[in-house]
Structure 1
Amino acid sequence: MTRPAIYLDHNAASPLLPEARSALLAALDLVGNPSSVHGHGRALRNLIDTARGQVAALAGAERKQVVFTGSATEAITQAIVGGARSFAASAIVISAGEHAAVGKAAEATGLPVITISLLPDGCIDLDQLADVLADAEGNLLVALHWVNNETGVVQPMARINALVGPTRHTLFIDAVQALGKLPLDFAASAPDMMAISGHKIGAPAGIGALLVKAHADLVRLIPGGGQEQGRRGGTEAAALIAGFGAAAAAFAGHYESADVAALTARLEAALPGEAVIFGGARLGNVINFAVPGVKSATAMMALDLMGLSVSSGSACSSGKVGPSHVLAAMGVAPELAECALRVSLGWTSTAADVDAFVAGYQSILERQRARQGQAA
């Protein structure tokens, strides 16, 4: 089987950066355990400490605030399940547009889950959030996303911070899609915890991090031998961590947001007039759209045969193509939502890639119109 020629699914995973590949391979040649006190162990420990600084720099965090995890899902679960226990939360607050990892972690706490609606533009209903915060009894753990993985909608983080920050409530932010694309400045911002992921910025899969403020330092999920300053047990995956660090240090040099946004604008301008684009204020690398009557499952299979890789939304559903809970929460009609495609660009994307997608999708439209004409 040949690899797809054109990859336009960076929100699912961004291709491995050459710097991350080099760091990963070099680290694989090292032997030992980072917790060992001999020279081999110290070499791995130094490698992890370097990567911690690189990730902290990209996230606007202090080095000591970075807790490496096996994935963003683990970081999210640690923040929500561990945070609910550590802060004695009375309930979990999420939005209707959260990634499944957030929703499942909220359910796993066994606490009441309060769901904040999405507005038609994809933004969280901040008036409803303000009411929930004001009426709450006890401490709430508020778990919200910064950038929606399906639509690219950027939540008004300054307003969320202003609402939750001055209260007694705990704020966790899923910043997986924001890392490297927006200034996080974790150390100086209101969130108590924040989750990030390696493979969204060209690091290998299987490595993420939870950023924690000092007062959240006791948030735990996996007990063990005291690794990560006692905040996450288990021998660190030094090679993956090295790849994450190298990607964090190199990502800005490969990913120029203005260039990627220009490619997205090129794609948007070439869409047919009947196309509906979902979401208001979006990150510049993603466009989620639908042409009525062109079902996403059919379009994705046809595009895949052309060597074009796109998606219909989240990549965390075991390869299933189903209705989007995000679009449903935005009030999109089911028959239109089932036609939605997500095209997400990144550091490997070119104008030729965009033009190939446009040509491929146009051929799908033409074949469908021809069939409809024959049926008439």
Structure 2
Amino acid sequence: MTRPAIYLDHNAASPLLPEAREALVSTLALTGNPSSVHSHGRALRNVLETARGQVAALAGAERKQVVFTGSATEAITQAIVGGARVFGSTAVVISAGEHAAVAKAAEATGLPVITVGLLADGSIDLDQLAEVVAQADGNLLVALHWVNNETGVVQPVGRINALVGPTRHTLFIDAVQAFGKLELDFAASAPDMMAVSGHKIGAPAGVGALLVKSHADLVRLIPGGGQEQGRRGGTEAAALIAAFGAAAAAIAGRYSGTDVPALIARLEAGLVALSPDLVIFGGERLGNVTNFAVPGVKNATAMMALDLLGLSVSSGSACSSGKVGPSHVLAAMGVAPELAECALRVSLGWNSTADDVDAFVAGYQSILERQRARQGQAA
């Protein structure tokens, strides 16, 4: 009997939580439009507002600050493109480690894009950021990530907030990888806007949210018919939003309950025991992901071999048309190209187990053994 494939790519998308599936199916059975005033419409409106409260609770936001979107990419684009327009930004500041959604949205503003570097540990160079902010003539839109999707490095958001928050500049935080894993307190924190995603926490793909402070209510991308209090047009996808809310209500307990950081520690200990040359990238990291390399073991080859063993991992972001290529994040950290070509990302989530971790270590061990056997034959 074939063993079921083991999924170890939660940073790309997390499997659907049972609570999210139940909310999705039950809402699909409802008929109507949430904007209609009759009983069918009111029932769907109640579903949306329940989900809004659930997402707000996980984000430390007020209900009215949650704007549902079709994805985190849409939320990011709304914040950056729409925010630059509303606040009269003269330039956009990003880091060299941003997700493509942030980098492309910055380009789409048509404004100058200032890129702040990463340090060797993967953290944003705050000295350089401080210099950029201090020397700016106009209003900057600063758009930075909280947790890096490739390395899991947790950025010093508190220091970023203190640096940008008191200024006249606009601050947007991409909190996609932090949502459901770290404590967010959007309502009381400095960022003007923040983006979160559904499918990273066990909801279906196709739903996200932009969190906005009241002074950013006019930040829009899709005008439409006035939905989401005029902040995002288009009839809301009630079933997806209901699932998003259910996932938000369930994920915190599921994440801590599986003791994911302990599983990552177990995985890394197993990998270190396999090879003295193993390198783990990043300094302070979120406890659900490891990005590592063994020199000479190319990630494209390793991923194919692992896939044949029923182990699904990645080499970084999944938002690059499925291609395996050099990581701009590792390059920004100063990692040599030949080592970066060997980098693999393993990311765990709410349904990961010790057996999954052990199976991966065993699978990677078999790859190393074959590599060493070939090298021995060639010697």
What per-residue deviation string (whole Å, max 9, x for no partner) do you get for residues 332-354 of structure 1? 00000000000001111100000
TM-score, reference length from structure 2: 0.98
**Corresponding residue number in structure 2 for 1:360:** 363
CA contact (8 A) 1:260 1:346 kept: yes
CA contact (8 A) 1:118 1:125 kept: yes
**Bigger Cα displacement from structure 2, 302-311 vs 247-256:** 247-256
CA contact (8 A) 1:312 1:341 kept: yes
**Corresponding residue number in structure 2 for 1:308:** 311
CA contact (8 A) 2:258 2:352 kept: no
Give the letter aligned to residue 11 of structure 1. N
Q: SS at 1:255's partner residue? A: helix
Counterpart check, 1:199 vs 2:205: no
Give the letter aligned to residue 290 of structure 2. I
What per-residue deviation string (whole Å, max 9, x for no partner) do you get for residues 49-78 of structure 1? 000000000000000000000000000000
Residue number among 342, 345, 349 corresponding to 1:342 in the alignment: 345
**Corresponding residue number in structure 2 for 1:295:** 298
What per-residue deviation string (whole Å, max 9, x for no partner) do you get for residues 306-340 of structure 1? 00000000000111000000000000000000000
Counterpart check, 1:155 vs 2:155: yes
Deviation at 1:257, TM superposition (A): 7.1
**Bigger Cα displacement from structure 2, 2-11 vs 17-26:** 2-11
CA contact (8 A) 1:76 1:174 kept: yes
Deviation at 1:3, TM superposition (A): 9.2
Counterpart check, 1:282 vs 2:285: yes
Distance 1:319 1:217 in 2: 35
Q: Percent identity?
A: 87
**Corresponding residue number in structure 2 for 1:21:** 21
Distance 2:13 2:27 in 1: 22
**Corresponding residue number in structure 2 for 1:210:** 210
**Corresponding residue number in structure 1 for 2:54:** 54
CA contact (8 A) 1:93 1:140 kept: yes
**Corresponding residue number in structure 1 for 2:44:** 44
Give the letter aligned to residue 116 of structure 1. V
**Corresponding residue number in structure 1 for 2:320:** 317
Question: Number of residues paired by the alignment?
Answer: 375
**Corresponding residue number in structure 2 for 1:89:** 89
Q: SS at 2:118's partner residue? A: coil
Q: SS at 2:259's partner residue? A: helix
Q: SS at 1:93's partner residue? A: strand
Give the letter aligned to residue 283 of structure 1. L
List structure 1 segments (4+ residues) > 6 angstroms apart after TM superposition: none
CA contact (8 A) 1:4 1:309 kept: no
Give the letter aligned to residue 314 of structure 1. S
**Corresponding residue number in structure 2 for 1:112:** 112
Q: What is the RMSD of the two structures over their aligned residues, measured on CA atoms?
A: 1.0
Counterpart check, 1:328 vs 2:331: yes
CA contact (8 A) 2:258 2:351 kept: no
Q: SS at 1:293's partner residue? A: coil
Distance 1:48 1:304 in 2: 39
Deviation at 1:258, TM superposition (A): 7.6
**Corresponding residue number in structure 2 for 1:243:** 243
| Distance change (3 Å), C-alpha of 1:259 and 1:106 | same
**Corresponding residue number in structure 1 for 2:377:** 374
Distance 2:167 2:343 in 1: 38
What per-residue deviation string (whole Å, max 9, x for no partner) do you get for residues 281-326 of structure 1? 0000000000000000000000000000000000001110000000
Q: SS at 2:31's partner residue? A: coil
Distance 1:300 1:133 in 2: 41
Counterpart check, 1:101 vs 2:101: yes
Deviation at 1:160, TM superposition (A): 0.3
Q: SS at 2:317's partner residue? A: coil
Q: SS at 1:210's partner residue? A: strand
CA contact (8 A) 1:33 1:44 kept: yes
Distance 2:166 2:339 in 1: 40
CA contact (8 A) 1:257 1:285 kept: no
What per-residue deviation string (whole Å, max 9, x for no partner) do you get for residues 247-291 of structure 1? 000111211178100000001111122110000000000000000
**Corresponding residue number in structure 2 for 1:231:** 231
Distance 1:147 1:40 in 2: 40
| Distance change (3 Å), C-alpha of 1:282 and 1:258 | farther
Deviation at 1:80, TM superposition (A): 0.2
Q: SS at 2:119's partner residue? A: coil
